Amino acid sequence: MRSYAKSVELYQQTRESLAGGVSSNVRYASTPVPLFFERGEGARLHDVDGNVHIDYVLGNGPAILGHAPKPVIEAVARSLADGQVYAAQHPRETELAQRLCRLLPGVEVVRFASSGTEAVLMALRLARAFTGRQKILKFEGHYHGWSDQAYISARPALNEAGPADAPVPVAGSPGMPKSVLEDVVVAGWNDLAAVAAVLERHRGEIAGVLMEPVMVNGGAALPAEGYLAGVCDLCRSHGALFICDEVITGFRVGLRGAQARFGVTADLAVYAKAVAAGFPLALVGGRRDVMDTLVDRGVMHGGTYNGNVQSMAAAIAALDELERDGGAVYRALEQRGTRLMDGLRVLASHHGVPMRVEGLPAIFQTFFTDGPVPRNYREAAACDRDRALAFHAALQEEGVRVTQAARWFLSAAHDDGVIDETLAAADRALAAVR
């Protein structure tokens, strides 16, 4: 058995001065306690007890180039002597904005922020200001940050969530004002008729339709054939903005994100995480006429750290890597991720474990179910969570770190040798949960 004695001791100490011993509630999700790490390098994390973990959590997505990617940390190191925050503009900011506008589908103008949560808030404000409407349609199981306005029905208890064909919005946390629920309509994802029905029922009221274009947070699920294009068309015909939250999928499922992969173009899109390969950066990008409301109509958006020197330097260096050799990083992610997904499927069948592997090569989830692959939050929630937790624990014992929901993020540092090691570890872990 691996020992986590030092993590346990540090956790007890830390709880005295840091609320709950963590800086994000998501980080409670670890056993035997939230673990303490001292170093990350490439595909691996080293914890304070000397255990080495092949890391498929990757900070919940940002570390697309692996931990401590040399070109990025060197660029950031070079930028440190230039200062950090000017409360003013600078050439690195211009360069990054220009590159993103050239690269991202439908993005004519961008605005920088520091976290996905605040960038989503900016997108919602822009949609409301542009359309003059109040309501937002969002989907069950989709997470868009922890704000009052967006942390609704992200992971609702099914006994509070109403019927599948008419879900009720559920506040995700104590302390959220009840009034926010009045401005949010919730639907089940991957069901075009449900979107059409909401837009019809609330004709002229919906400012924007917000979604993760590939559902990741509520249980990885791919959009059904034609679903994203159908939502896009419905938005156009109802005068609502289509807002893609590409915080996870952006720069991960391809250089141009899920929209390019599935052939749709949103009116507004939110990016964060992988864009700066581990440094804090988020952005909203989209149609010039919508983004221009920041200027023409004085839609307020601020932030002390927006466009800070190090985040810009990190993202420029990350883009250099991600764009190199016509996207060689993405070809490798696709090939190795596919090998890992297929390998896990073969192992599960060999062990007679009813495990499904669903998602895309750079971000997927292992579900335990005898049924078909989940297409939405409720189907994902019906899978065997206890077995997923047992698999997570067994993998951790074998030196492989996945999220507690058994989501797997891949990085460019997960080379073929790492995939081989992982499959050997998964073989033993599956034997343990059989």
Ligand X SMILES: Cc1ncc(COP(=O)(O)O)c(C=O)c1O
State whether residue 137 is helix, strand or coil: strand
Output the furthest CA–CA distance in the chain (Å, rounded).
62
Q: Of the candidates 30, 51, 79, 117, which one interacts with ligand X according to CB under 6 A?
A: 117
Minimum distance from CB of 143 to ligand X (Å)? 5
The Cβ-side half-sphere exposure at 101, using a 13 Å CA radius, reads 14
Instruction: Please say which residue, 185 or 210, places its beta carbon nearer to ligand X.
Output: 210
Determine the Cα–Cα distance for residues 69 and 64; give it in Å rounded to an integer: 9
| Distance from the Cα of residue 154 to its chain's centroid | 13
Question: Cis (ω within 30 of 0) for the bond into 34?
Answer: no
Residues 312-371 that bind ligand X (CB under 6 A): none
Mask 208-247, x = binds ligand X (CB under 6 A)? Answer: ----x----x---------------------------x-x
Determine the Cα–Cα distance for residues 60 and 26; give it in Å rounded to an integer: 10
Binding flag, residue 248, ligand X (CB under 6 A): yes
Minimum distance from CB of 66 to ligand X (Å)? 19
Minimum distance from CB of 212 to ligand X (Å)? 5
Q: Which of 143, 151, 271, 330 is catalytic?
A: 143
Kindly report the number of other CB atoms within 10 A of residue 260's CB atom.
16
Instruction: Please say which residue, 97 or 120, places its beta carbon nearer to ligand X.
Output: 120
Q: Of the candidates 63, 120, 373, 418, which one interacts with ligand X according to CB under 6 A?
A: 120
Minimum distance from CB of 173 to ligand X (Å)? 14
State the amino acid at position 194 in one-letter form. A
Instruction: Please say which residue, 13 or 24, places its beta carbon nearer to ligand X.
Output: 24
Residues 123-142 that bind ligand X (CB under 6 A): none
* 113 within 8 A of 282, measured Cβ to Cβ: yes
Determine the Cα–Cα distance for residues 402 and 405; give it in Å rounded to an integer: 8
Q: Of the candidates 4, 11, 36, 143, which one interacts with ligand X according to CB under 6 A?
A: 143
Sign of CA dihedral 84, 43, 223, 160: negative
* 209 within 8 A of 195, measured Cβ to Cβ: yes
Q: Does residue 273 carry a catalytic annotation?
A: yes
Determine the Cα–Cα distance for residues 197 and 187; give it in Å rounded to an integer: 10
The stretch among 72-80, 95-103, 115-123, 421-429 that binds ligand X (CB under 6 A) is 115-123
Q: Which residues are catalytic?
A: 143, 245, 273
Chain residues in the site for ligand X (CB under 6 A) = 60, 115-117, 120, 143-145, 212, 217, 245, 247-248, 272, 282
